[in-house]
Chains A and B, each alone.
Chain A
């Protein structure tokens, strides 16, 4: 029996020592301190989490089954699943769903790929390594509102820099705000600008933990740097990649600031034709509309929660499948 197992089962690790004397009050106190105070240190977080995390979620779930008068301060009579039915049959919700998926794919996929490649490059013995590593995080420090404003003017339809360049080459300018795919691309660009460096550093940290002997062995076997990257680095950082992909997914489902500030529509409904309204924008706008604002928004929120859980599960299954296949 190892020590760890002994600790877990509560048996004394050493059976053969002299009988322990009765503990004094002080000793008991110090033992309790050792055993219980860590939980006390944690407690404030869980209390705060209960208050601002769990309670609002539970309450919004409750609320989603009621009606709400426009200027009332409290909910009206219950309506069963009517709010869910409204959201699920709302064509705007369907659009928001596909917009979110589209923007998510256009941002997360290139983001993770580019971050991995940059991390791989930063993992090599560079001159001024720390400087390079710091600088990839720079965009992350820029406030998202500032990012959105800058990119908003870069992607302005008539007077924006991007279109000026495109026209200078002789191509027709792109309607960044009215074309659905173009607007997704513009928004995804902002997201990528901000988050690629952040993911790079996480992946880099994982890469640093790969034992250097593996590379030495691979080099001795004559593997090129690219081969080393593909066959040593990538398999070794798989758990971290999984973490990065899941957090990117959750983030992707919650995109709000970028499309909201990119919006030129006076109603802020994500473009005149809802072409880039995301799910979180849908929730926000619904909570400002005239009929049953909060219950409908709450219903939409819970649908998004289910969606995120579903996607995370799917990713988990796919990753596990890949992992098993790799191990075989």
Chain B
């Protein structure tokens, strides 16, 4: 980075030019076979985090009847992939045939200019395949289907039954529902636990609680005509509630960072909002802790956190085949397999019904019937909450950062002023 002298810059540039040239050459190769993909041809897909597709793609490639093979690239986190994807869309080059998009950012890819960069996946035979709100979240105003839903994120709460017991709270999966009845009862129980166990905090991070509450509001950042409006009572309520708990209940760590991860195993906190995809994080961060359980309740009703999509960029030269793969991956069988591999709760209706019947339990969470609970949680989700405008993902990032500032000791008023300023410069 530092001291880069001009020759070195030039060398890097030449190297980049070479790479770009090679990539262009690859593009040229596949162009020759654009008509249809043969047995030896490869269709590419990029996902982030864990979609639970590894075994599925192996299965596809092992099947001699498949017309082409598939190669998947997995990116660790969504945020860098969002940047890479946005830049590749602007460059009109460099994306794989199928790309995964995170649900909160879906609205910005539906706007004019962005939606034209994606192939229309409309297929009348699939209309009833997915939960309606998930399906419609990937539709433009004039009805173009930009992406297929993969998973949804109905949330319950994961909690430490052993710590609850120590603090004199109900810990049984049925009795503990009372704690998670409303946000008031939830925070009150937190006060009790942190008083009894001063080393332990109540929730995993202020950001997670803020997301949970945001997902129950209707117009947190933008009104229905996409006007940015952050000074509304709904958002104020979330802000004031979460920032007022920082001193007592928050471990003051940033989600996904080292200190956050350490909290799972070393009694750092006792509860965490848990969509299905969070299970694998809990298990990998605290493989030896016995006491994690999963309750069939959520303060203030229900909530959906996350859920992703598969889309086919216009720059793909094999849009028909890409559509075929996206279709296959989001079908019932494959969605069930993905749930078992990674815990991602399917947006596919058939898969949801199958899961509810199977009554799968998870030994890690004290044999909790995870599939059934998630089905109940999904039923409690209020569709259309929150309204996600074209800037939802951007403002959400700024809002969570504002909460992080309060966690770090900046006063809520000062942090809010910085947040408003940052939102302003988005336009």
Contacts and interface: CB of A to CB of B under 8 A. Distances in A.
A251 B1 CA distance: 7
Contacts of A267: 79, 397-398, 401
B10 A195 contact: no
Contact of A273 (B91, B254, B408, B427): B408
Interface string B97-128: 00000000000100101100100000000000
Interface stretch (A153-161, A210-218, A225-233, A302-310): A153-161
Interface string A244-264: 000110111011111000001
B207 to A, nearest CB: 8
A178 interface: yes
Interface stretch (B257-265, B280-288, B316-324): B257-265
Given A71-B89, A251-B4, 15 more contacts: A45-B7, A45-B10, A52-B9, A53-B9, A71-B86, A71-B117, A86-B425, A158-B259, A247-B5, A248-B2, A255-B2, A266-B401, A267-B401, A289-B394, A290-B394
Contact of B6 (A53, A157, A257): A53
Given A48-B14, A178-B409, A266-B255, A256 B262 contact: no
B404 interface: yes
A90 B406 CA distance: 22
B6 A91 contact: no
Contacts of A290: 108, 391, 394, 426
Q: Is the interface of B mostly helix, strand, loop or mixed?
A: helix
A247 B3 contact: yes
Give me the 3 closest cross-chain CB pairs, A-B, nearest first: A52-B13, A251-B2, A178-B408
A322 B208 CA distance: 58
Q: Is the interface of A mostly helix, strand, loop or mixed?
A: loop
Nearest to B92: A73
14 contacts: A51-B13, A52-B9, A52-B10, A70-B114, A71-B89, A178-B408, A178-B409, A272-B404, A272-B405, A272-B407, A273-B408, A273-B418, A288-B83, A289-B426
A175 B89 CA distance: 39
Contacts of B427: 291
A156 B1 contact: no
A88 B253 CA distance: 33
B90 interface: yes
Contacts of A158: 253, 259, 262
Interface string B403-427: 0110111100001001001100111
Interface residues of A, number: 50
A37 interface: no
A82 B17 CA distance: 32
A265 interface: yes
A91 B91 CA distance: 30
A195 B262 CA distance: 32
A71 B114 contact: yes
A159 B266 CA distance: 11
B199 to A, nearest CB: 12
Contacts of A195: 2-3
B16 interface: yes
A243 B409 CA distance: 42
The number of chain B residues touching the other chain, given as a range, is 35 or more
B113 A72 contact: yes
Given A153-B258, A178-B408, A264-B254, A252 B79 contact: no
A71 B407 CA distance: 34
Interface in B74-101: 79, 83, 86-87, 89-92
Contact of B3 (A52, A250, A256, A273): A250
A69 B90 CA distance: 9
A144 B4 CA distance: 13
Interface in A189-214: 191, 194-195, 198
A309 to B, nearest CB: 15
Contacts, number: 124
B10 A265 contact: no
A5 to B, nearest CB: 32
Interface string B1-33: 111111101101110110000000000000000
Give the interface centre of A69, A194, A198, A266 by most chain B CB atoms within 10 Å: A266
Interface in A89-110: 90-92
Give the interface centre of B6, B117, B401 by most chain A CB atoms within 10 Å: B401
B408 A272 contact: yes
Contacts of A256: 1
Contacts of A251: 1-4
A64 interface: no
B42 interface: no
B400 interface: yes
A153 B421 CA distance: 32
Give the interface centre of A194, A195, A265, A268 by most chain B CB atoms within 10 Å: A265
Contacts of A191: 2
B2 A71 contact: no
Given A264-B257, A272-B404, A288-B83, A69 B113 contact: yes
Give the interface centre of A156, A267, A269 by most chain B CB atoms within 10 Å: A267
Nearest to B407: A272
A39 interface: no
Given A71-B90, A178-B409, A254 B13 contact: no
Nearest to B89: A71
A157 B394 CA distance: 27
A57 B114 CA distance: 28
A156 B394 contact: no
A228 B423 CA distance: 60
A132 interface: no
A266 B1 contact: no
Contacts of A70: 108, 111, 113-114
Contacts of A289: 394, 426
A248 B1 CA distance: 11
B414 to A, nearest CB: 9
A258 B2 CA distance: 10
Contacts of B421: 91
A49 interface: yes
Contacts of B92: 73
Contacts of A264: 254, 257
Interface in A130-179: 144, 153, 156-159, 175, 177-178
A177 B259 CA distance: 12
B16 A269 contact: no
A52 B14 contact: yes
B259 A157 contact: yes
Contact of B10 (A53, A92, A255): A53
A71 B1 CA distance: 29
A73 B90 contact: yes
A54 to B, nearest CB: 10
